[in-house]
Chains A and B, each alone.
Chain A
Amino acid sequence: MKNIIIIIAVILLGLTSNTFAQPGKTKADFTLPAGFKYSVIGKSLNRARHIVVNSNGDVYVKLARPRGGKGIIRLQDKNKDGIVDDTTGFGDYGGTGITIKNGYLYASSNTTVYRYKINNNEPDTAHPQIIVSGLIDAGTHNTKSLVLDNAGNIYVTIGAPSNICQAEDRKTGAPGQDPCPLLEKTGGIWQFKADKENQTYSDGVRYATGIRNTVGLDWNTSTNTLFAMQHGRDGLQDYHFFPDSVSVELPAEEMLEVKKPGDNFGWPYCFYNQLAGKKMVNPEYGGDGKATGRCEGVAAPAAAYPGHMAPNGLLFYTGNQFPAKYKNGAFIAFHGSWNRAPLTQKGFFVAFQPFRDGKPSGAYEVFASGFAGKDNITAPGQAMYRPCGLAQGPDGSLYVTDDAKGNVWRINFTGNKKG
């Protein structure tokens, strides 16, 4: 039923939206709601991950791997004509996290959080400070996303280097380790002091745990809480608890709200079945697709999305450029799935989650789609672009990165707000 509503919503959205063809640029024409338009501001930067825009409009993009020795790319529009006219870079490390707060630019490799003082809109790239180092990078789920609150703390995601904490990772039927030893130093979000150098695990607080992996996170300034998008587990469908058409939607990708330090969201013992609205026991821990057992009382997500779509970017929109309904709602960049066989892959779009009084309100809407370049792809490698990072410009524009080719787009509202 929920799916039907979503399908109808998508069709309605399609009827009322405009498709903006980008002349001679690419095959991918993005579909946006009426009144919005996009422009390409960065092309082929390589794997563009998270992004931040400084108060003067300069755009900073974190690359997964350095390009020409530069892991942070700056896009500038010096003559303010709306077109990027200078592309420079610094930071010789790859990574995902990047943000700006209180006059500093923070960026992360897969082990370390750096910051650069910004003087007159120029980051002091010659003197990076190491804020946190020694964080675990064991390959899987090794990216470290960053966000700051308004009280001098920085939050760093540390994903679990595992699918579901089995002793034999990704072996269908192999039991899960209980308790899961990975939770001690991974599988959560850590809080550090934003202005203290050379911190490591012992200086941090495990602020949220039981989270398999988070790439997209943001601080919600209206609720004053941390929100994080969990990537749900893979391979639940291999246990054949449900027909394929149901199985590929499970478990949910979860929007988590951390309400207090130490909140536990249940990984690896529990998965969230959004169709039943319950946290259930994973089969590696004795679950049968129905049992809720030890997962009763585990914090439920604030909102849930179809499985495997990989929410890599989260942004609470606080600008005034877009129509009023977007204010304090959440944009989510879904990177797109790979674990939905035998059905086609899903995601590869930017969604909007309406909020009301600090809580998700109603179903999500597909906001920007068409990144894959074609419908019904069977493998993520067939996608032309894959949305990853989101940022808001000082004028309320929305920025989106792609880590397949490394494009960056700016989305503006030019329609009639009253219309």
Chain B
Amino acid sequence: MKIVLVSLLLTLLGSSLIAQTKTTVKRPAVKSSSNSTSLRASLTRGKTVYAANCLACHQADGSGVPNLNPPLIQTSWVLGSKVVLVNQVLNGSKGKVEIDGDRFENAMPPQAHLSDQQIADVLTYVRNSFGNKAAVVTAMEVKSARAKRK
């Protein structure tokens, strides 16, 4: 019985190590030095876009406002589909949004005035800040979502 448990533990440990390694490899930051530089630049630009357009409601730490403005920390929207996320930024919402079981009442104005690059940067920043870790969003992806929206 003990042996089974130990081997089970080892297997779990092993697979989690592999998973961790995989995640590490996936991280754009360590892909190559040029990608790393461009990610850093995107994050820096994204932070500026965030401060000017998002921070007042979603807050400096991404925690949002209970019942009013959604948090951006480890939510299914932030970590999930990039297309859904880009469309949220482009279209905004009329409020009464339900996210992971909580309801948020305030409307979000559309942010379509931001450029493809600005939206890519700010979403890359959000998806890699506040404890989040998710794939970068590119200007091409924003451009494509914007085109489909029209």
Give the interface of A toward B (CB within 8 A): 64, 138-142, 163, 168-172, 174, 235, 238, 338-339, 341-342, 378-382, 404
Contact = CB atoms under 8 A, between A and B. Distances in A.
Contacts of A172: 109
A170 B61 contact: no
A341 B55 CA distance: 8
B128 to A, nearest CB: 19
Interface stretch (B23-31, B35-43, B78-86, B100-108): B100-108
- B interface, over-half SS: loop
Contacts of B63: 379, 381-382
Nearest to B65: A338
Range for the number of chain B residues in contact with chain A: 20 to 34
A342 B51 CA distance: 9
Contacts of A142: 105
Contacts of A381: 59, 61, 63-66, 71
A338 B61 contact: no
B109 A168 contact: yes
Given A379-B59, A381-B63, A338 B69 contact: yes
Contacts of B71: 381
A378 B64 contact: no
Nearest to B61: A379
B59 A378 contact: yes
Interface string B38-57: 00000000000001000111
B60 A140 contact: no
B68 A338 contact: yes
B56 to A, nearest CB: 5
B95 A140 contact: yes
Contacts of B61: 378-379, 381-382
B109 A338 contact: no
A379 B56 CA distance: 10
Contacts of A168: 109-110
A140 B56 contact: no
B105 A379 contact: no
A347 to B, nearest CB: 13
Given A141-B105, A380-B65, 10 more contacts: A139-B96, A139-B105, A139-B106, A163-B107, A169-B95, A338-B68, A338-B69, A379-B63, A380-B59, A381-B59
